[in-house]
């Protein structure tokens, strides 16, 4: 993802206005509608007091993938970020780590999960090419635990075991991706989960009795043809449950305007990379 040059208005999180704008953006992204939208808000007057009417504001995505997916991902910027390169890829994949004998876990959150049963990297015959640097099938587990939220969490494979370090990769078009990775084990908490996705630390934490699964998200750019998952230096006995890979997209508000005395706010929006 190319963010260009810009001056950020540094504020943590996002405002209610940004939230609304982002929800509209999400609707546009989903519906493919023309990039001109009108928002209504009783709070708009109060919110608008935060903004200078003489300034054009640009809304650019925040870095959190789930915030993005919820449509609540935005930061207001006052300098045009310039041309933002389209992500250029609609590649999306959802892979569940599991034993060879187990069926794929199915569909969750409208995503169909493909199974990874620990096989060597290769064409899986499902339109995707992925796998491990070694045959890792013997290390896969199916806990059949009542504490697992669903089968994605219940099944896993080791990315580390004893002194062995394993690497998992999937072929993707060059580009930027938003990745969610879930690690954990229904039965054991003797791990330190520090897992990199394309050298970006994505999962980082220690499981507890009450919190057996850890997840993280990262925005990563792949230039070598394979999105790579491996252990970070502090990890021990790391295991992975499933991974969600989404294409990057950019959204921008070109301007936010409101007529005096009106509760109607107009956002001129551009969605790139869909």
What pairing do the DSSP bridges indicate for beta strands 58-60 and 141-142? unpaired
Q: Which is nearer to Ca ion, 10 or 223 (CB)?
A: 223
Q: Which is nearer to Ca ion, 117 or 256 (CB)?
A: 117
Binding segment for Ca ion (CB under 5 A), chosen from 95-103, 113-121, 122-130, 133-141, is: 95-103
Quote the least distance from Cβ 186 to Ca ion, whole Å: 9
Instruction: Give the closest residue to 136 by CA, choosing from 153, 156, 151.
Output: 156
**Closest distance of CB 223 from Ca ion, Å:** 8
- Residue 124 binds Ca ion, judged by CB under 5 A: no
Nearer of residues 23 and 108 to Ca ion, judged by Cβ: 108
CA nearest neighbour of 248 among 26, 90, 19: 90
Nearest to 172 by CA among 215, 134, 229: 229
Query: Does 174 contact Ca ion by CB under 5 A?
Result: no
* Dist CA 115 CA 152 (whole Å): 10
Residue from 89, 129, 142, 161 in contact with Ca ion (CB under 5 A): 142
Torsion of CA 209, 213, 214, 220, to 10 degrees: 170
> Do the beta carbons of residue 215 and residue 160 sit within 8 Å?
no
Q: How far apart are CA 215 and CA 205, in angstroms?
A: 9
Residues in contact with Ca ion, shown as a per-residue x/- string from 177 to 216 under the rule CB under 5 A: ----------------------------------------
Q: CA torsion angle for 30, 33, 37, 39 (degrees, to 10)? A: -40
Q: Is 167 in the site for Ca ion (CB under 5 A)?
A: no
Instruction: State the minimum distance, in angstroms, from the CB of residue 32 to Ca ion.
Output: 31
- Residue 235 Cβ vs Ca ion, minimum distance, rounded to whole Å: 18
136 binds Ca ion (CB under 5 A): no
d(CA 208, CA 150): 18
Alpha-carbon distance of 93 to 170, in angstroms, equals 9
Using the rule CB under 5 A, give the single segment among 97-105, 125-133, 203-211, 258-266 that binds Ca ion.
97-105
Residue where the block lists tokens 């310039």: 82
Distance of alpha carbon 267 from alpha carbon 57, whole angstroms? 10
The residues in 211-230 that bind Ca ion, with binding defined as CB under 5 A, are 224, 226, 228
Window 241-260: residues binding Ca ion (CB under 5 A):
241-242
CB of 198 to Ca ion, least distance (A): 5
Query: 83 or 223: whose CB is closer to Ca ion?
Result: 223
Q: How far apart are CA 120 and CA 247, in angstroms?
A: 25
Taking CB under 5 A as the binding criterion, the range among 11-19, 30-38, 124-132, 140-148 that sits at the site for Ca ion is 140-148
The span of 10-18, 58-66, 91-99, 172-180 binding Ca ion (CB under 5 A) equals 91-99
Catalog residues that contact Ca ion under the rule CB under 5 A: 96-98, 142, 144, 152, 154-155, 224, 226, 228, 241-242
């Amino acid at each position: 993802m190319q963010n260009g040059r810009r001056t950020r208005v540094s504020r943590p999180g996002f405002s209610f206005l940004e939230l609304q704008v982002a929800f509209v953006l999400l609707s546009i992204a989903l519906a493919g509608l023309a990039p001109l939208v009108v928002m209504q808000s009783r709070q708009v007057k109060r919110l608008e007091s935060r903004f200078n009417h003489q300034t054009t504001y640009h809304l650019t995505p925040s870095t959190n993938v789930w915030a993005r997916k919820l449509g609540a991902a935005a930061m207001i910027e006052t300098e045009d970020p310039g041309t933002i390169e389209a992500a250029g890829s609609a590649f999306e994949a959802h892979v569940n780590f599991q034993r060879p004998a187990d069926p794929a876990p199915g569909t969750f959150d409208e995503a169909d999960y493909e199974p990874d049963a620990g096989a060597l990297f290769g064409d899986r015959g499902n339109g995707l090419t992925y796998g491990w640097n070694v045959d890792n099938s013997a290390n896969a587990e199916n806990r059949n635990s009542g504490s697992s939220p669903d089968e994605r969490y219940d099944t896993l494979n080791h990315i580390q075991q004893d002194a062995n370090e394993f690497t998992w990769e999937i072929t993707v078009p060059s580009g930027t991706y938003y990745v969610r990775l879930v690690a954990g084990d229904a039965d054991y908490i003797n791990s330190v989960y520090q897992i990199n996705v394309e050298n970006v630390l994505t999962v980082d934490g220690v499981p507890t009795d009450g919190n057996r699964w850890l997840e993280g998200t990262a925005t990563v750019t792949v230039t070598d043809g394979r999105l790579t998952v491996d252990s970070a230096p502090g990890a021990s006995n790391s295991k992975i449950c499933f991974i969600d890979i989404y294409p990057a997209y950019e959204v921008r508000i070109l301007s936010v305007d409101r007529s005096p005395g009106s509760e109607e706010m107009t956002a001129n929006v551009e969605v790139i990379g869909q």
